[in-house]
Amino acid sequence: DQQVKQNSPSLSVQEGRISILNCDYTNSMFDYFLWYKKYPAEGPTFLISISSIKDKNEDGRFTVFLNKSAKHLSLHIVPSQPGDSAVYFCAAPYNFNKFYFGSGTKLNVKP
Amino acid sequence: DAGVTQSPTHLIKTRGQHVTLRCSPISGHKSVSWYQQVLGQGPQFIFQYYEKEERGRGNFPDRFSARQFPNYSSELNVNALLLGDSALYLCASSLGQDHTEAFFGQGTRLTVV
């Protein structure tokens, strides 16, 4: 059951431009969302999160937007840098003890 | 401070064999969770252990088992390995049972041949 979906397997953007990564979910019980970033040969590292009581959360170059009615969230990175090239996973915790992850979007930021 | 450490980093096993993967959580963290990440997919939840008790289990066969030790480290065991068990196995630790602040290890890459 794919409760969290990332429909774009890859995204390529030019350095300095905006990267927008999208995520959709089906379970209306989800009330907290996280984005993780993963480099090859490393585990996922926490990037940014958002609670369902908010529609936006910002941390430096990273902003996550949540549209509860559409069950959609997006991660904006601006300006994008080559070091941002990685796989980005959207995740939702459920029942306090597990995450549902999307399938990931591989971001390539070209110099 | 050491993060979540997993061993070994890479492993090759033959079909039908058994494997044990190990995880040491961040010091002070009492919860350990295991995830399987198959190539091209997101991590899939296998187990959560908190205070040495199983608190959650994902949709995996009984060939998969785990335990947590008094020092909060954990082992994931997989019996009768299948080719489809080839994946990156990730361990995540968190302070309490609440999984919203989880930190991941680098993973163990298991290849079954």
Q: List the domains of chain B with CATH numbers.
A: 5-112 (2.60.40.10)
Distances (CA, A) of A111 to A17, A44, A78: 11, 24, 14
| Residue to test with chain B: of A34, A94, A97, A105, most B Cβ within 10 A | A97
- Which domains are delineated in chain A? 4-105 (2.60.40.10)
Arithmetic mean of pLDDT, B34-59: 93
Residues of A in contact with B98 (CB under 8 A): 93, 96
Residues of A in contact with B33 (CB under 8 A): 97-98
Q: pLDDT tens digit string along A25-84? A: 999 999 899 999 999 888 999 999 999 999 999 999 999 999 999 999 999 999 999 999
Closest by Cα among B28, B52, B25, B38 to B85: B38
CB A62: neighbour CB atoms within 10 A? Answer: 17
Q: Residue B113: its pLDDT value, please? A: 97
Look at B42 and A93 and tell me if their CB atoms are within 8 Å: no
Say how far apart CA B15 and CA B85 lie, in whole Å. 9
Structure tokens at B79: 């019996």
- State the smallest CA–CA distance between residue A17 and chain B in angstroms: 26
